[in-house]
């Protein structure tokens, strides 16, 4: 009995054609994906060139200005701090000088007042001297 393989060969031929078509479709999808990727990257680069680069330059300029202002503020605050601390030192020194001066004047006035009190006390009191009482005899 002779085996007829024409139907099998036909199916094999159809399968081969379908496999080739599948390979061509996959290659087409790969090429399409590559072209889409290239277009997307070109769009991103153009967007970066047109939009992001000028924005970045502006932001960099602003940052430079902010750094300059920050440095200036820091320097000025340091100067103010130094001035305040110097002024506080001078105020403390002046307060100590005033205190010492007032204390010296008060001591002089008190000395004069005590001297006058002693003079008045000696003039108004009896001129006789009192003898201090004899110490009590201690018992042995």
For the CA atoms of 58, 59, 60, 62, what is the dihedral angle to 10 degrees? 90
User: For 68-106, how does the pLDDT look when each residue is reduced to its tens digit (9 = 90+)?
Assistant: 999 999 999 999 999 999 999 999 999 999 999 999 999
- Matching residue, tokens 């997307």: 40
Residue 123 has pLDDT above 90, yes or no: no
User: For 55-75, how does the pLDDT look when each residue is reduced to its tens digit (9 = 90+)?
Assistant: 888 999 999 999 999 999 999
Q: What is the pLDDT, as a whole number, of residue 138?
A: 57
Q: What is the pLDDT, as a whole number, of residue 121?
A: 87
Give DSSP secondary structure letters for 106-131: HHHHHHHHHHHHHHHHHHHS-SSPPP
User: Cα separations (Å) of 31 from 18, 25, 26, 50, 85?
Assistant: 20, 10, 9, 28, 75
């Amino acid at each position: 009995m002779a085996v007829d393989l024409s139907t099998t060969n036909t199916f094999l031929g159809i399968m081969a054609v379908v496999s080739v078509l599948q390979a061509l479709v996959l290659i087409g999808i790969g090429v399409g994906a590559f072209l889409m990727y290239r277009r997307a990257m070109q769009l991103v680069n153009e967007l970066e060139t047109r939009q992001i680069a000028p924005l970045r330059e502006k932001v960099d300029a602003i940052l430079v200005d902010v750094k300059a202002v920050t440095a200036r503020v820091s320097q000025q605050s340091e100067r103010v701090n130094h001035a305040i601390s110097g002024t506080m030192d001078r105020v403390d020194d002046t307060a100590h000088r005033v205190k010492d001066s007032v204390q010296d004047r008060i001591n002089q006035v008190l000395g004069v007042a005590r001297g006058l009190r002693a003079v008045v006390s000696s003039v108004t009191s009896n001129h006789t001297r009192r003898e201090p009482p004899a110490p009590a005899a201690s018992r042995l």
